[in-house]
Amino acid sequence: MILESLLAYLHILAILTLVVFISSEAALCRPEWMNAKTVERLVTVDRIYGIAAGVLFATGLARIYFGVKGPDWYWSNWLLHVKIALFVVVGLLSIRPTLRFAQWRRALHATGALPGEDEVRKVRKQVMLQAHVIPLIPLAAVFLARGFGG
Ligand code: HEM
């Protein structure tokens, strides 16, 4: 039971980190705040967001294979598939912002140029989409944890 509790804690720790850093990205990725420091910060914030997502996936898998319910119960449960599908959607939505933030920094270092308002708004939309999909995942999680979907 100690392992189960520790895995649950690490999963929640990764969730909290993910939410804090996607919120930071959403707060920073605004045309009115855009300056050289913000461009640099967005790359760092996005990297930590990515690491948190990786730890979240790893702790999720660990809960499947080392949890008391056992992998067969989880893999035959449609709620887990919904969770992972939503997680993959968030992952796909995160690709373009990651590439743009890196491109903005390269442009900043090369010419000192900052990204245009339209460009920032477009990328912000993808950040906000992620921030709206993530809260759906715990809805599947709490029912999964209480034995539904099996
Ligand atoms: C943003 C992504 C995710 C969020 C917000 C999230 C949220 C949660 C929450 C809140 C719980 C605890 C539910 C409860 O005890 O009431 C949980 C449990 C769990 N999560 Fe996640 N999760 C995410 C991603 C994943 C992924 C990607 C996997 C699998 C690879 C996963 C596998 C699990 C498992 C196996 C449990 C234990 C369920 C049980 O107690 O039987 N999670 N998750």
147: left (phi over 0), alpha (psi -120 to 50) or beta: left
Rounded to whole angstroms, what are the CA distances from 107 to 95, 112, 113, 136?
19, 7, 6, 36
Verify whether ligand 1 is closer than 6 Å to residue 28 (CB atom): no
Chunked in runs of 10, what are the mean pLDDT values of the chain (150 residues)?
Answer: 94 98 98 96 98 98 94 96 98 98 98 97 98 98 94
Does the predicted model carry a pTM greater than 0.85? yes
Q: Which of 5, 63, 80, 146 to mutate to test the pocket of ligand 1 (most atoms within 8 A of CB)?
A: 63
Class of domain 2-145: mainly alpha
Name which residue sits closest to atom 17 of ligand 1, judged by CA.
141
* 11 Cα to the center of ligand 1, angstroms: 7
What distance in Å separates the CA atoms of residue 23 and residue 118, rounded to the nearest whole number? 20
32: Cβ–Cβ under 8 A, 6 or more apart, which residues? none
What's residue 147's pLDDT? 94
Verify whether ligand 1 is closer than 6 Å to residue 49 (CB atom): no
148's tokens: 């539904």
64: Cβ–Cβ under 8 A, 6 or more apart, which residues? 71, 74, 75, 80
* 13 Cα to the center of ligand 1, angstroms: 11
Verify whether ligand 1 is closer than 6 Å to residue 73 (CB atom): no
What distance in Å separates the CA atoms of residue 116 and residue 96, rounded to the nearest whole number? 16
* 145 Cα to the center of ligand 1, angstroms: 8
Single out the residue of 50, 59, 75 nearest to residue 10, CA to CA: 59
On whether the CB atoms of residues 58 and 10 are closer than 8 A, the answer is no
Q: Which amino acid is at 113?
A: A
What's residue 1's pLDDT? 87
Domain positions in the chain: 2-145
**Helix (H), strand (E) at residue 102:** helix 78-111
Instruction: Please report the atom of ligand 1 found closest to the CA of residue 84.
Output: 27
